[in-house]
Structure 1
Amino acid sequence: MEVEVRHLRALCAIADTGSLHRAARLLGVAQPSLSTQLRRIEQELGGALFFRERTGCRPTPLGRVVVGRARPLVAEMRSLVAEARAAAAVTGPQLRIGSTASRALAGWLRRLRERPQEPLLQMDVSANALLRMVAEGQLDIAFVHEVEGCPLRIPDELRLRVLVEREPQFVSLPADHPAAARPVVRLADLAADRWMLDPTVDGEWDAVHRVLRAAGLSPRILHGDYQTAAFLVASGEVVTVCQPTSPSRPETAVRRLHGDPLGVRLLLAARTEEYLDAVFPALQDAYWETAEQAPAYREWLTAKGAPLPRGAPPTVVRRT
């Protein structure tokens, strides 16, 4: 079982109502069904999330961490659904966008909504799947990341723009981890930790394994999606690879890896140059806006030299 948005919604309802009975009524499900769902979620996350008392339910320490992280995700999903429904009602032209996960998405979509074409978004952890959808005409644009050492299968008919030639990947670890006291973390500092990776992300599993082996490490690696990894990092169970634009939170710390051993290339793909010309500047602005808001990444960029200014000419990938 994987923790899904509906499970997060259920946890928030239990915490808000303080009762399985009232939460079940709010969600429109039977109480026994909600109780069973809660037990499965707790088994998946590895601990009790609520104290069951005669007067109702209250979150355990782990439950407070999970619910605290779940609330903004549930709110964001509600907003996403509302935006999708609004977009579906638009009779004008629509721009079909595919993307892997990125903190720049919100700013990019906000900028694109100011234009005649209403953006519709489809998320996927597989960059290769999104590129195929663009080539087959199911999407107009795809914003994807290519893990270093694991080239994507890019259809010949696609045109590409490079947003960032090499974005370093950072590590997310519990805020009370000894290594979190330093701005730069060595892989050896994480030798005793469990790692969580999503094996469905194209190239990430192979790249991280390769980097860990090169460092002489063979830690225990768990499978899980980004959301599950975030919960378990916050509860002190795992560490995980993350984008440098990821925010630190009270329970977690985002830190640079010494030597920047992991990197990705950020690409925008379309079938025509006209599509790229239309949306690339907005993506470029959104990305650097997000980068400026991420302290660890901003420090890294400063140490390496100023990033490309907004509006700088893009790198065009040409095939020979």
Structure 2
Amino acid sequence: MELEVRHLRVLCAIEDTGSLHKAARHLGMTQPALSTQLRRIEDHLGGRLFTRERTGCRPTPLGRTLLTRARPLVDDLRVLVDETRAMAQDAAGDRLRIGSTASRAIPGWLRRLRASSPHEPSLRMDVSAHALLRLVAEGGLDVAFVHEVEGSPLRIPEALTCKVLLAREPQYVSLPADHPAAGSPVVRLTDLAEDRWMIDPTVDGEWDGLLRAFRSAGLNPRVLHGDYLTASNLVATGEVVTLCQPTSLARPDMAIRPLEGDPVAVRLLLAARSAPVLDAVLPALREAYWESAHQSPAYRTRLTESGVID
């Protein structure tokens, strides 16, 4: 016999349940059939994999070695099957498949789409706008909401149609609440010259955009690379400052401020393979975005003063 994934699943079930009786019930088999299959597996491998005791089955050293390697294979196969089934449902049109870079508008967008459609939208988040756009072009997603850093244009596949949600969204700075610059309503880059900055280099164009802003201001600050969840925690403890979206919310230990002159900005885009898909989802996204903008005091003040919102 050849050892197959179904055999590995049997061994994992025996270890998980601790007995042949419980494992057989879990697998939908009779205990004699499971005992026969285990014996055949052990004969094929040339050694005992479990000891049979009054209290149940326990892996032998050989069995433990095999299970250590087998369990990741079984788990990966389970994940693969689940993902394939989800993709099959998506391909059948049961879901609207959404991709997005990070945005506080996402919860409100999903809520509105659920209210207007009988189908549950699926969501795939990615820091890379390019990766999401490729997925839309290849048919893996129906629509993607992405941001394009000013000065670093995205490579948009020819098959896609795009609409602009916002032509220019200034990026703000997140800094410790007790930072001296946090006392000002607007922060200059030069006020942060001595700070450590954290940037996520996997976000398409963002490092280049910030680097251009540093050079324009004649600065060469210390820079750490990391994801923005880590950055947020380090900001709160006074270790770093970092770029953030203007819809970000301040916390007792963290302040959100605009940068003087808006040296870093993005364009917010919605992309799909057809215009009807964009027309169907853009109004809900627009409402969700402005809802999140209203919830951010610093951004709301900026938009009100510029006449964008009342």
Q: Could you tell me the TM-score, scaled by structure 1's length?
A: 0.68
1:165/1:92 CA distance change after superposition, 3 Å: closer
| Pair 1:178-2:170 in alignment | no
Aligned to 2:246: 244
**CA–CA separation in structure 2 for the residues paired with 1:186 and 1:195:** 14
| Pair 1:274-2:282 in alignment | no
**CA–CA separation in structure 2 for the residues paired with 1:286 and 1:168:** 18
Task: Report the AA paired with residue 293 of structure 1.
Answer: Q
Q: By how many angstroms is 1:117 displaced?
A: 2.9
Please list, as runs of the form range in 1=range in 2, the aligned pairs for 1:1-320 lying within 5 A after superposition.
Answer: 93-114=94-115, 115-307=117-309
* Identical-residue share of aligned pairs (%): 68
After superposing the two structures, state which structure 1 stretch, 184-193 or 89-98, moved more. 89-98
CA contact (8 A) 1:135 1:271 kept: yes
Q: By how many angstroms is 1:302 displaced?
A: 1.5
When the two chains are superposed, the root-mean-square deviation of aligned CA atoms in Å is: 1.9
1:153/1:92 CA distance change after superposition, 3 Å: closer
* 1:85-109, Cα deviation, whole Å (9 max, x unpaired): 9x96999720100000000000000
* 1:212-265, Cα deviation, whole Å (9 max, x unpaired): 111011000000101000000000000000000000000000000001111000
**CA–CA separation in structure 2 for the residues paired with 1:126 and 1:218:** 26
**CA–CA separation in structure 2 for the residues paired with 1:303 and 1:237:** 33
Q: By how many angstroms is 1:306 displaced?
A: 2.0
* 1:37-68, Cα deviation, whole Å (9 max, x unpaired): xxxxxxxxxxxxxxxxxxxxxxxxxxxxxxxx
* 1:260-308, Cα deviation, whole Å (9 max, x unpaired): 111000000000111111110000000000000000001111222224x
**CA–CA separation in structure 2 for the residues paired with 1:147 and 1:271:** 22
**CA–CA separation in structure 2 for the residues paired with 1:265 and 1:116:** 31
**CA–CA separation in structure 1 for the residues paired with 2:306 and 2:228:** 28
* 1:12-51, Cα deviation, whole Å (9 max, x unpaired): xxxxxxxxxxxxxxxxxxxxxxxxxxxxxxxxxxxxxxxx
Q: By how many angstroms is 1:118 displaced?
A: 1.6
* Structure 2 residue ranges without an equivalent (≥5): 1-81
Corresponding residue SS for 1:122? strand
**CA–CA separation in structure 2 for the residues paired with 1:287 and 1:105:** 8
Corresponding residue SS for 1:248? coil
CA contact (8 A) 1:92 1:118 kept: no
Corresponding residue SS for 2:99? strand
Larger Rg belongs to:
2
**CA–CA separation in structure 1 for the residues paired with 2:277 and 2:120:** 14
CA contact (8 A) 1:187 1:257 kept: yes
Task: Report the AA paired with residue 198 of structure 1.
Answer: D
CA contact (8 A) 1:93 1:116 kept: no
**CA–CA separation in structure 2 for the residues paired with 1:228 and 1:93:** 36
Task: Report the AA paired with residue 191 of structure 1.
Answer: A
CA contact (8 A) 1:245 1:297 kept: yes
Q: By how many angstroms is 1:157 displaced?
A: 1.1
**CA–CA separation in structure 1 for the residues paired with 2:110 and 2:252:** 28
CA contact (8 A) 1:92 1:117 kept: no
**CA–CA separation in structure 1 for the residues paired with 2:306 and 2:262:** 12
Runs of 4+ residues over 2 Å off in structure 1? 87-92
Task: Report the AA paired with residue 240 of structure 1.
Answer: T
* Structure 1 residue ranges without an equivalent (≥5): 1-83, 310-320
Corresponding residue SS for 2:133? helix
1:119/1:194 CA distance change after superposition, 3 Å: same
